[in-house]
Chains A and B, each alone.
Chain A
């Protein structure tokens, strides 16, 4: 760089730092206009990657008929929108078909803002989830945490986490259950990082389908026991229900009725081969069927198609806004030339040509563009670093 250019940059820098507000606005405009389409592209690519990788690794999902996308979002991305429930009978049906291995999923409840996913131990093998610390769930009332949940809530094995009531005003409804954290999973950068996993029975206890209470056969308090026969004891609501499952009260927990009728939100089906997958899908094609079987990738492909269609519209808007911004910046410089007429006259009088004025203005523009570029790159680095978390926060509630 010649001395002339260095001197021009020096004077331009002095001018820009003197006019901080104007310079700041110009830099902000250029940075935003450059940053928006780039960040949008990065976030969309990350969304596509996250949505597709998860969808592709989940061959088939069985759920109640209705929105395929809602079913997929709830069962594999743990979205809080709960689809219509199915039952454990549906998992058994997949198993009995001999065509696929079923993994039941019940994602309905939450604990401190994160989903509590009830499932079987097969889920961890199916997803290839490994423990970073602690051990796997073994008995009722235990849970393992996704890496992000553990980090955000500051929980470790042997800590406790309480499930959130589904509705604060439903007094007869679901009581919070104090669950024991027994393990933390390794980070996978998927929805599994943001969930708590418990055995299905634990989740049914949260729902109130299973419960534990004092042994009514030994209670003599007549204000609790309404009726007692040789075979049955009837207690009223005064009977204390346990809100924590411990070694002492574990055996008192029990479930009424047939477990096959107990609710779940979906069954992840892993067919043995392509033929089995086709045959299994065929079984859900009848018009009378109240269940649907879907390939998550199909649902996500449809979603991505819509997202990219919207992205094209946003791109067009950004181009128009960008063009308008460039025009506004040109206008700012043109007006600034008029405002700086006295300064320009001084420079002429000292003995400079129009080329010098152009060089000074060019240096100002170059500095603004370079600063905006550096800012843009810095912000893009941050967006890139946090794209995984950003996408999960935006897409999955």
Chain B
């Protein structure tokens, strides 16, 4: 599913660099990525999603060479193949939960807002325990509710790859377990692949594999 080879990346200010000789994730695998803050976990997810481009090396996702795509193709790839659960939810305060979940459909041409999509929003919200909160604005939600809304948004287009950046970071232990259940459920249901950055060591046994990021970082 994910095949990374000889990856090198450095931010323009030169303060941080990431070097990964090789890294593979197979289809359907649930992988936890751990490591100290600032070790480059989020950078890796951004590189895999095509938000950042590597200086050298290659990234392949589902046999698509992400690192060789142009900007527009990378954006289309991200929308159609990747469900990204961001660290700080990235919900828009001025939209209600339903509009936030549908936001990618409204602002891109790659996803079509058909009738079935609305039904799927209701289904996802129901599963996430958000069915009665679809009309509430994002700034009226608790942290756990925000995270569940962000997960709904990420899962809505049936992505084959789910990238979760500390998706359980701000939650209490009960909510953490529940959110992870929901993510695993979605991954199993659609034979998707999950790559989750986390600091929660108590959750690690539930993943198929754990990757310690200290092994990659350089410079």
Contacts and interface: CB of A to CB of B under 8 A. Distances in A.
A367 interface: no
A15 B94 contact: yes
A9 B113 CA distance: 15
Contacts of B104: 350-351
A363 to B, nearest CB: 11
Contacts of A17: 94
Interface stretch (B22-30, B75-83, B123-131, B203-211): B75-83
B99 A14 contact: yes
Interface in A159-211: none
Given A3-B113, A7-B113, A14-B99, A350 B92 contact: no
Counting contact residues on chain A (CB < 8 A from B), the size range is: 20 to 34
B84 interface: yes
Contacts of A10: 106
B107 interface: yes
Nearest to A360: B107
Contacts of B110: 351
A67 interface: no
B216 interface: no
Nearest to B90: A346
A353 B71 contact: yes
Interface residues of B, number: 26
Contacts, number: 61
Contact of A7 (B76, B79, B107): B107
A159 to B, nearest CB: 60
Interface string A4-26: 10011011001101110000000
B99 to A, nearest CB: 7
A11 B95 contact: yes
A345 B88 CA distance: 12
A19 B94 CA distance: 8
A356 interface: yes
Contacts of A348: 51
A17 B99 CA distance: 14
Contact of B78 (A7, A18, A346, A351): A351
Most buried by B among A3, A8, A17, A350: A350
Nearest to A10: B106
7 contacts: A14-B95, A15-B94, A19-B94, A342-B90, A350-B84, A351-B104, A353-B72
Lowest 5 A-B CB distances belong to which pairs?
Answer: A18-B94, A351-B79, A7-B106, A346-B90, A351-B78
Given A11-B103, A350-B90, 11 more contacts: A4-B109, A8-B106, A10-B106, A11-B95, A18-B93, A349-B84, A350-B108, A351-B76, A351-B104, A352-B107, A352-B108
